[in-house]
Amino acid sequence: MRPMKTIQLYFEIHQIIHLKRYRFFDIGTDHYYYDDYENERSITDIAERSYMPALNTFQEMIKEHGNYFKLAFSISGVGMEQLEMHAPQVIAKLQELNETGCVEFLAEPYSHGLSSLANEECFAEDVKKQAEKMKEYFGKYPTVLRNSSLIYSDDIALQAKAMGFKGMLTEGAKHVLGWKSPHYVYDAVVAPDLKLLLRDVDLSDDISLRFNNPQWPGYPLFADSYINQIAATPKEEQVINIFMELSALGIAQPLSSNILDFIKALPVCAKEKGIIFSTPSEVFDNFKSIDHVSVPDTLSWVDEERDCSCWLGNNMQREAFNKLYSIADRVRIMKDPAITQDWYYLQASNNFRFMTTKPSNVGLDRGIYITPFDAFTNYMNILGDFMRRVKSKYQSLDDDELNDLLTTIRNQGEEISMKDKEIDRLKAMIKKISPDAAEEAEAPKPKKAAKKPAAKKPAAKKA
C-alpha cells in the first residue's frame, strides 16, 4: 500500500550569544567576552513574542488532533543554555510537547557553528555534546541530524554516517536538484544508507519570509489555498518538507499578522485533502529512497546562492575562521570547562555572518556593529585573547608533541571502538549458542529516575 502524502514540519531554535565591545587593550586583562544584558533581553523578548505563543499553539493543535499532527525541532546547545538561564518556561513547554509523542528532537552542532567545514573530530564532538543534551532533557538520543543552517555536502554525509545517524535534513536547492523534485526521500551518493529530506524552498519561505508582505503576489496567504498547493503536486511526490526558524512565527512574521491562526488551520485543511503529518524518523521508516543526491560543493539554506559565502565569502571571514580552528585540536585535548564554553560560543556562525559584505534580500541586523570591518575587529580582539589563554596552557608543548599526543588519543579511541565491535561479535555468538544466556547478558541494569534538569545560573564573570 502506497503511503499517504505527508507534511514534515520542522523548526530550528537557536539564540545567538551577543559579544560585548572588546578593545585591543582588553587583550590579556579581560577574559569575559559577553554582553549579559543584551543576551538576557533578547532571549526574554523572543520567548515572549515568539517561542511561547508558538509552542502553546502547537500544544493546542496536538490536543485537538491527537497524534495526527506531528512536528520536529532542533535546538542548538548555546541556544539551550540561554533558555536555561533566562527562559526556562520554554524548555518546560518543549518537555510537555515531548510527552505527547508527537514531536521529534533532532541533533545539530552544539555551537550552531561551522565545525563541519573545518575539523571532523571537532564536528563529531560538537554534535555529540548537543545530542547528549537532547537526551538529558527529552529522554532520547537523536537519530536524525540537522547541521547548522542545513549545511551539507558529500563529505559531511560521510561524517554523519560515521556518527551513526540514519538521516539528515538539508536544502532543496535548484542548482543541486536540477529537474528533480524535493518531494521525495533521497540518499547520499557517498553513503547510500544515509537518507535525506530536502527542504521545499518556496513553500517554506512563503510562511517564514513572505507571509506578511502585502507586496507579495501570494498575499494574503490562507491555510486552505496553501494546502491546495500541496495537494496539487503530483501524487508520486509524497514528502513535503517545510523547514524554518521558530522565530519566524512571531518575529519575522509578527503575531498581528495572524500567522498562528494560519498555522493552527493547516491540520484542519490537510485532513480534508487526505494529507498527514510525520516526523523525520517516520518519513525515513515509511518511505523508500528513490534516488541519490550528489553535493560535491557545500550547500546551505542561506541567501540566493544557498552556499557558505555568507560566512566565508570574504578575506576577513576566512581569516577569522582559519585562526579560530587553528587551535581546535589544542582546545579538544584541554578539557577546561571555561575554555570549552568560550570555544562553543566563539564558533557560532553568526559571528562570521556579521562580517559579510554580501548584499542580501533578507535584512541582517549586525547588532552593536556598524560595519563588517567593525565586526571583524571586535571578534579578532576577543579571539586574540582566547588564543593566548589556550596556548598558555601548553606553553611547553610544540606542534610535533601536540600531534603525537593527538595520535595517541585517536589510537586509544580506535582501540576502544575495536573492543566494542568484538564485544558485539561475542554477544552474537552467545545468542546462537544459548539464547537464554544472551538475554541475561543484554538485560539492562536498573537506573535511578532522572531528575528534571534545573535552569543553570549565569556563569560568574571571569576576572
pLDDT tens digits, one per residue of 405-433: 666 655 665 566 566 666 767 767 776 67
Q: Which of 171, 137, 183 is nearest to 244 (CA)?
A: 171
Q: Model confidence at 295, in pLDDT bands (50, 70, 90)?
A: very high
Three-class SS state of 250: strand
- Count of other CB atoms within 10 angstroms of residue 286: 14
- The more confident residue out of 448 and 194 is 194
Backbone angles phi, psi at 209, to 5 degrees: -115, -35
Question: What nine digits make up the cell of 197?
Answer: 529530506
pLDDT for 446: 43
Please write the tens of the pLDDT for every residue from 211-236.
999 999 999 999 999 999 999 999 99
> Can you tell me the distance from the alpha carbon of 29 to that of 431, in angstroms, rounded to the nearest whole number?
62
The type of residue at 62 is I
Q: Is residue 85 scored above 50 in pLDDT? A: yes
> Can you tell me the distance from the alpha carbon of 213 to that of 209, in angstroms, rounded to the nearest whole number?
8
Cα–chain center distance at 46: 18
Distances 259 to 103, 141, 210, 221 between C-alpha atoms, Å: 21, 32, 11, 10
- Per the prediction, the chain carries an average pLDDT of 90
DSSP string spanning 97-163? HHHTT-EEEEB--TT-BSGGGT-HHHHHHHHHHHHHHHHHHHSS---EEE-GGG-B-HHHHHHHHHT
Angle (CA) 29 30 32, round 5°: 160
Question: What nine digits make up the cell of 390?
Answer: 589556550
pLDDT for 258: 97
Least confident of 324-328, 364-368, 439-443: 439-443
Backbone angles phi, psi at 74, to 5 degrees: -130, 145
Q: Is residue 26 scored above 90 in pLDDT? A: yes
Crossing angle of the two packed helices 77-86 and 88-99, in degrees rounded to 10: 110
Three-class SS state of 368: coil
Q: Is residue 437 scored above 50 in pLDDT? A: yes
DSSP string spanning 272-285? HTT-EE--HHHHHH
Cα–chain center distance at 239: 21
Q: Which of 283, 301, 349 is nearest to 176 (CA)?
A: 301
- Rg (C-alpha) for the chain, rounded Å, is 23
Q: Is residue 132 scored above 50 in pLDDT? A: yes
Q: Model confidence at 190, in pLDDT bands (50, 70, 90)?
A: very high
| pTM of the predicted protein model | 0.85
DSSP H or E stretch at residue 201: helix 201-208
